[in-house]
Amino acid sequence: MHVRHITISNYKSFGGAQVLNFDKGFNLILGGNNAGKSTVLETLDLLARNEPHRSRVTVPRYGDPIRGFSKIAVGLTMSTLELGRMHGREQFYVPINVPVTDPGVSGLAFRQFDSDVLLNFDFVVDGGSRRVELTSKSIFNGGFLDGESEPRPSAEFIFNAEGEFEVRRALAVADGSRLQNLANRCLARIYRFGAQRRPGSECGMVDAAVLDREAATLPYFINRLQTSNAHGHRQLCSWVNRILPTVAWVQSTPTGRNSFALQCLPEAPEAQREDLATPLASMGTGIGNIVAILYVMLTAREPQVIAIDEPNAFLHPRALRELLAILESEGKQHQFILTAHSADVLTAVDTSSINFLELASSATVVKRVSREQLHSIRGELAELGISVTDLHGKDRVLWVEGQTEELVFPLLLRYACPEIAAGTAVLRVERTGTFERKRGVAVEEIVSIYDRLSKSAGLVPPMICMLLDAETKKPNEMAQIERDSQNRLRFLDRRMLENYLLNPRAIHAALLELNCACELAQVENELSTINLTDISNVDGARVLQTLFSSISEATQEFRKTRDVPNIVSWLIANERDFLEPLRSLLRRILMNEAAFTELER
């Protein structure tokens, strides 16, 4: 069984109908705070819910009644034989779309059931009432309401003495409890974990075959595992230790009150130091969730749906990567649905689908990326030397010349454009020579690549522009390139970034950072020997190389990635006015372009 889709309309942060499609394997739901991630996972409880969306659309004026009802649809897919195994030896009914009086209908139903046809069940909540809609490429089609008394054509199945499913008869069934019965059986295979859902640390004996959805009975089932499946228990402890190296062993011991308590040991049981055991009740939510998730994966004989709400909230990044790696390699039959603020988990698993949630005009909007799209986007980004995780969570991207600019421009943005600094990713563009026709790809094609990526369902934020060194280009050349690129390519108004940094006091401070014994007067004298009347066109990097070598008597060399950040930091802290030409340029270019990208979003 796996979740096929979740459709939400007029519920909490969701206004108009939004559809999240899922596949088998790992499915990721990304979004900021209050974007609706936890709301999506709530729907997996298959409960009747009615909490209409509140905004100016549904409540136009203060005091107006909220309009409409919440509507939620959760689509589950399973095979006919899987449905039968869910019911065990109990009889059950499957809706059919042919008259029950047709001759041979029972035989047809059996043959199609036995061929393991896929069934699509949609659990629909509409205005507080519930119904199930069944579709398939067989006679198994139809639906029923919660608590209804109207007879529905159905095939009655039983598990016979020979250990096979058979159709007892086709009849019109009026059973008001069949929806809840089906929901309960499906829910037994849907687990939801998160920082707010703490698995049980102590419990009594239970009369159940599988762990409950809240994992409240985890101590009992771990005790049963260690007594009836020692190999499985040792495997679980090995996984836990891989994720959390400080936990060598997990055990569940009787407490003397006909109950069991979970404990974690820092050393393997061979050390015989059970006195060092720490009760799970005294530990954080992370370890309990890890043990519960791994237990479900280890012991489940049928495909399960395992939803984990913001695992970053209760797991260290390294621990999360290890957990996901184990789930991916050992839990291939299961479906995983994870929510997160960031795309870090993309580096740990091969994601089947990504759904992006964002608030737009007070309502959640969903954008989806399939596995195929993700692989394509990853490939194109890799050619440009970046990854998806470099970009997620940013509102916009500023592309710069190289590694030095990538280090320095975050500082410059906080100084020159604080309004956009926090939400701007600064990334270096590799192979900048390709922006000229004579050396490679046409400008129009480069711009097209970035524009397409920035519109790829939220994976890549829009770019402000690509800000490059002027180098030796003439003003008319730069103007032409900017026009051709629709201002996506912009240039500094000096030859390179270093041309804005030729300040003797800042250079002196950078040399002192290198333990170079020199005086400010030396730097001023050396700088005065260089013709800086045309400050825009001199080779600023070469000037700094000359100064560093001369003043240090060749004991120090100018290193852009080390020394430029030091010079910029000193100027921002001590002589901001010296950077005013650069600040004015950045504000003129970046603030206008940032406003334009916001309009495009």
Cα–Cα distance, 85 to 101 (Å, whole number): 27
More confident residue, 229 or 590: 229
Please indicate, yes or no, if residue 379 is contained in any of the structural domains: no
Band of the pLDDT at 439, cuts 50, 70, 90? very low
* Whether residues 289 and 415 fall in one domain: no
Please indicate, yes or no, if residue 219 is contained in any of the structural domains: yes
Give me the percent of the chain exceeding a pLDDT of 90.
Answer: 53
Cα–Cα distance, 553 to 569 (Å, whole number): 25
Tokens describing residue 464: 């402000």
Instruction: Encode burial over 561-576: b for 16+ CB neighbours within 10 A, e otherwise.
Output: eebbbbbbbbbbeeee
* Whether residues 399 and 539 fall in one domain: yes
Distance of CA 461 to the CA centre of its chain: 15
Please indicate, yes or no, if residue 361 is contained in any of the structural domains: no
Please indicate, yes or no, if residue 501 is contained in any of the structural domains: yes
Q: What does each C-alpha distance from 458 to 305, 395, 581 come to in angstroms? A: 26, 10, 35
Choosing from 279, 299, 319, the residue where a domain stops is 299
* Whether residues 541 and 422 fall in one domain: yes
User: What local confidence, expressed as pLDDT, does residue 152 receive?
Assistant: 83
Band of the pLDDT at 541, cuts 50, 70, 90? very high
User: What local confidence, expressed as pLDDT, does residue 437 receive?
Assistant: 45
User: What local confidence, expressed as pLDDT, does residue 351 receive?
Assistant: 84
User: What local confidence, expressed as pLDDT, does residue 220 receive?
Assistant: 96
The number of C-alpha atoms within 13 Å of 384 and in the hemisphere containing its C-beta is 25
What predicted TM-score, i.e. pTM, was given to this entire model?
Answer: 0.78
Cα Dmax for the chain? 107
pLDDT of 485 > 70? The answer is yes
Choosing from 299, 330, 348, the residue where a domain stops is 299
Cα–Cα distance, 224 to 389 (Å, whole number): 41
- Report whether 90 contacts 99 (CB < 8 A): no
pLDDT of 537 > 60? The answer is yes
User: What local confidence, expressed as pLDDT, does residue 302 receive?
Assistant: 94
Cα–Cα distance, 535 to 494 (Å, whole number): 8
pLDDT of 28 > 80? The answer is yes
User: What local confidence, expressed as pLDDT, does residue 347 receive?
Assistant: 67
Band of the pLDDT at 445, cuts 50, 70, 90? low
pLDDT of 345 > 80? The answer is no
User: What local confidence, expressed as pLDDT, does residue 425 receive?
Assistant: 84
Choosing from 283, 299, 315, the residue where a domain stops is 299
pLDDT of 432 > 50? The answer is no
User: What local confidence, expressed as pLDDT, does residue 279 receive?
Assistant: 92
Please indicate, yes or no, if residue 597 is contained in any of the structural domains: yes
Q: What does each C-alpha distance from 331 to 285, 299, 302, 305 come to in angstroms? A: 22, 11, 11, 11
Please indicate, yes or no, if residue 536 is contained in any of the structural domains: yes
Strands (E), 449-495: 463-468, 489-491
Q: Which pLDDT tens digit goes with each residue over 256-292?
A: 778 999 999 999 989 888 889 899 999 988 999 999 9
* Whether residues 290 and 412 fall in one domain: no
* Whether residues 293 and 412 fall in one domain: no
pLDDT of 601 > 90? The answer is no
* Whether residues 282 and 400 fall in one domain: no
Q: Which pLDDT tens digit goes with each residue over 200-222?
A: 999 999 999 999 999 999 999 99
Cα–Cα distance, 502 to 495 (Å, whole number): 13
Length of the chain: 601
Instruction: Encode burial over 223-239: b for 16+ CB neighbours within 10 A, e otherwise.
Output: bbbbeeeeeebeebbeb
Please indicate, yes or no, if residue 279 is contained in any of the structural domains: yes
* Whether residues 286 and 402 fall in one domain: no
User: What local confidence, expressed as pLDDT, does residue 233 receive?
Assistant: 97
Q: Which pLDDT tens digit goes with each residue over 502-513?
A: 999 999 999 999
DSSP one-letter code for 151: -
pLDDT of 438 > 50? The answer is no
Q: Select from 116, 165, 160, 164 the least CA-distant residue to 140.
A: 116
More confident residue, 586 or 592: 586
Q: Select from 21, 9, 26, 560 the least CA-distant residue to 345.
A: 26
* Whether residues 422 and 554 fall in one domain: yes
* Mean pLDDT of all residues belonging to the chain: 87
User: What local confidence, expressed as pLDDT, does residue 407 receive?
Assistant: 92
Q: Select from 543, 398, 540, 537 the least CA-distant residue to 473.
A: 537
* Whether residues 294 and 403 fall in one domain: no
Cα dihedral 536, 539, 541, 544 sign: negative
Per the structure, how many domains does the chain have?
A: 2
Band of the pLDDT at 599, cuts 50, 70, 90? very low
Cα–Cα distance, 226 to 253 (Å, whole number): 10
Read off φ and ψ for residue 218, nearest 5 degrees.
Answer: -55, -45
Cα dihedral 199, 204, 210, 214 sign: negative
* Whether residues 452 and 556 fall in one domain: yes
pLDDT of 490 > 60? The answer is yes
Read off φ and ψ for residue 175, nearest 5 degrees.
Answer: -130, 105
* Whether residues 293 and 402 fall in one domain: no
pLDDT of 331 > 80? The answer is yes
Band of the pLDDT at 520, cuts 50, 70, 90? very high
Q: Which pLDDT tens digit goes with each residue over 44-98?
A: 999 888 899 998 888 889 988 887 899 999 999 999 999 999 988 888 889 999 8
Cα–Cα distance, 295 to 259 (Å, whole number): 19
User: What local confidence, expressed as pLDDT, does residue 42 receive?
Assistant: 94
User: What local confidence, expressed as pLDDT, does residue 444 receive?
Assistant: 55
Read off φ and ψ for residue 445, nearest 5 degrees.
Answer: -70, -40
DSSP one-letter code for 557: -
Distance of CA 343 to the CA centre of its chain: 4
Q: What domain range is 564 assigned to?
A: 394-601
Q: Select from 16, 7, 15, 19 the least CA-distant residue to 53.
A: 15
User: What local confidence, expressed as pLDDT, does residue 388 receive?
Assistant: 65
Q: Which pLDDT tens digit goes with each residue over 127-170?
A: 778 899 999 999 999 988 887 777 888 888 888 877 778 888 88
